[in-house]
Amino acid sequence: MILLDRPIAIAGARSIARAVRSGELSAVAVIEDRLERIARLNPRLNAFTNILEDRALAEAAAVDALVAAGRDPGPLAGVPFGVKDNYDVAGRVTTAGSIINLKLPPAHEDAVLVRRLTNAGAILVGTQNMDEFAYGFTTENAHYGATRNPRDAGRSAGGSSGGSAAAVAAGLVDFSLGTDTNGSIRVPSSFCGVFGLKPTFGRLPRTGTFPFVHDLDHLGPFANSADDLALVYDAIQGFDAGDAACAQRRADPVSASLAAANDGLRVAVLDGWFHDNADDQGRAAVRTVADALGATGRVTLHGAERARAAAFVLTSASGGNLHAEALAERAEDFDPATRSRLLAGLLLPANLVLQAQRVRLLFQAEVSAAFRDHDLLLAPATPCAAPLLGQPTIGVAGRDVATRPNIGLLTQPLSFVGLPIVAVPVAGAGMPIGVQIVAPPWAEALALQTAARLEREGVVGLEAANP
């Protein structure tokens, strides 16, 4: 069932900002349009958990006032966006998809990235559904319901940032912010057919977001084009002392150089683990992208399976540790899908946790070696396209495996070593699937430029809002 039932007049962050900045379109009109669309489609999609109508309209009016006064309203003037429910929004409790957090006081200020976007003129219209505490890949939340895929309402939107990706794919907002610990931006990008950026670990400050695994958590945006992704990325970069893991690096703006030719790139397809655990559609999507980039090489990252296992173990142990008090006092209030894994994580031998951190360094060396000979690496984002909601198993490498723990097979090893990755959507006969463009640390610009080139050539990207 297709839920995208009408085109919206002006879509895309850059187009909206241009129209609003020039006075051709009012920010209030844009927000009213999106609020109407959300009211109509969200009851079925369940992408948003809260709509911030009053705030959005007030901020839009303020943007229009700046334009009327001849002042600069910012590069994202009037662009509607949403954030995953683990970002602080002033005056609201940051639930992180749980009911456990409802006991917390409301946030006293917005998360740093939300503040930066607001300062750039973007308009926050609501918070978005997710797996409880970001521990999942399907956004089938026991408390807040499942988010449905806008391209097929019977299918998963992916997770854990499922609401954020679905909202962009359905044209409810023009970009969203999500988080990615093990694949939670790249998986929903793949399932919903949108672009997603997981920057280098430490690039974007997580100040004002609810954590999951401190040394694996990343923040990043979703959008319907590489250009919009870059525009948003440029607005949110920069150091913030509130996040101990945030690197003290200067912002590295990419929008202005998005059309860079980057001729002669050495691009290789990831073989081994990343080939063996993908289905035919995923392999074909990678081949399509590789052919467009003239990639002929193949690289096997030895130890990818181990790296994935290490990420799996660390996640459970760290998540269990983070929620130990609530697990002792209110275990019954957790989503059953989350509870068992967090409790098991609490019982893991320390030996395995330390071993996982050792595996991390070993795999980092393996990846660094691969980037000595290649500029970019390619891999499918998910083992398959979006499964049905509630589907218990997926086919991987010729066998049926449990859906929920295995959707991240191809994302986990790469985020484990903090690499910047752009997930790009490749159309399929039915549902789309994502391809990961993997760059060396701090080379987000190269991955975004490559995504933009592929989009210009018509290799990636979908007509999301115009069915």
Measure the CA–CA gap between 262 and 244, rounded to whole angstroms: 34
Write the DSSP assignment of 199-240 as a string of letters.
Answer: --TTSS--TTB--SSTTT-EEEEEESSHHHHHHHHHHH-S--
Nearest Cα to Cα of residue 182 among 443, 407, 376: 407
Contact 317, 290 (CB under 8 A): no
Residue closer to other proteins, measured from CB, 303 or 432? 303
- The minimum distance between CB 49 and other proteins, in angstroms, equals 26
- Of these residues, 184, 189, 190, 318, which one is catalytic? 184
367 forms part of the interface with other proteins (CB under 8 A): no
Q: Note the maximum CA span of the chain.
A: 63
Residues linked to residue 438 through DSSP beta bridges, in sequence order: 377, 421
Among 361, 369, 388, 397, binds other proteins (CB under 8 A): 361
C-alpha distance from residue 25 to each of 15, 60, 70, 166 (Å): 10, 11, 15, 26
Residue closer to other proteins, measured from CB, 48 or 273? 273
Query: How far apart are the two ends of the chain, measured CA to CA in Å?
Result: 12
Structure tokens at 375: 């500029």
359 forms part of the interface with other proteins (CB under 8 A): yes
Q: Is 160 a catalytic residue?
A: yes
Report the SS3 class of residue 401: strand
Measure the CA–CA gap between 316 and 314, rounded to whole angstroms: 5
What mask of x and - would describe binding to other proteins in positions 222 to 241, judged by CB under 8 A?
A: --------------------
Among 239, 343, 442, 456, binds other proteins (CB under 8 A): 343
Give the range of 204-212, 347-355, 367-375, 387-395 binding other proteins by CB under 8 A: 347-355
Residue closer to other proteins, measured from CB, 58 or 244? 244
325 forms part of the interface with other proteins (CB under 8 A): no
Among 339, 389, 438, 444, binds other proteins (CB under 8 A): 339
Nearest Cα to Cα of residue 194 among 141, 219, 158: 158
Residue closer to other proteins, measured from CB, 55 or 341? 341
- Of these residues, 26, 98, 160, 316, which one is catalytic? 160
Burial 51-71 (b: 16+ CB within 10 A, else e): bbeebbbebbeebbebbeeee
Among 214, 266, 298, 302, binds other proteins (CB under 8 A): 214
Residues of this chain, 404-433, that bind other proteins according to CB under 8 A: 405
Residue with tokens 């703006």: 253
284 forms part of the interface with other proteins (CB under 8 A): no
Amino acid letter, residue 34? R
H/E stretch holding 288 reads helix 280-292
Residue closer to other proteins, measured from CB, 32 or 305? 305
- Helix ranges restricted to H, 69-185: 112-119, 162-169
Residues of this chain, 244-273, that bind other proteins according to CB under 8 A: 244-245
Task: Return the number of other C-beta atoms located less than 10 Å from residue 3's C-beta.
Answer: 18
Residue with tokens 């391809």: 435
- The minimum distance between CB 281 and other proteins, in angstroms, equals 26
341 forms part of the interface with other proteins (CB under 8 A): yes
99 forms part of the interface with other proteins (CB under 8 A): no
346 forms part of the interface with other proteins (CB under 8 A): yes
218 forms part of the interface with other proteins (CB under 8 A): no
352 forms part of the interface with other proteins (CB under 8 A): yes
Contact 326, 334 (CB under 8 A): yes
Structure tokens at 186: 């790249």
Residue closer to other proteins, measured from CB, 298 or 302? 302
Residue 73 buriedness (CB in 10 A; 0-12 / 13-18 / 19+): buried
Measure the CA–CA gap between 285 and 421, rounded to whole angstroms: 16
Give the range of 132-140, 145-153, 350-358, 367-375 binding other proteins by CB under 8 A: 350-358
- Of these residues, 26, 84, 190, 255, which one is catalytic? 84
User: How many alpha carbons lie under 13 Å from residue 69 in its C-beta half-sphere?
Assistant: 9
# residues near other proteins by CB under 8 A:
41
Residue closer to other proteins, measured from CB, 81 or 133? 133
Among 10, 62, 260, 348, binds other proteins (CB under 8 A): 348
What mask of x and - would describe binding to other proteins in positions 285 to 324, judged by CB under 8 A?
A: --------------------xx-xxx-xx--x-------x
357 forms part of the interface with other proteins (CB under 8 A): yes
369 forms part of the interface with other proteins (CB under 8 A): no
Give the range of 56-64, 276-284, 353-361, 446-454 binding other proteins by CB under 8 A: 353-361
Amino acid letter, residue 436? Q
Contact 204, 251 (CB under 8 A): no
The residues that touch other proteins, with contacts defined as CB under 8 A, are: 214-215, 244-245, 305-306, 308-310, 312-313, 316, 324, 327-328, 331-332, 336, 339-341, 343-349, 351-352, 354-362, 364, 405
Just list the catalytic residues.
84, 160, 184
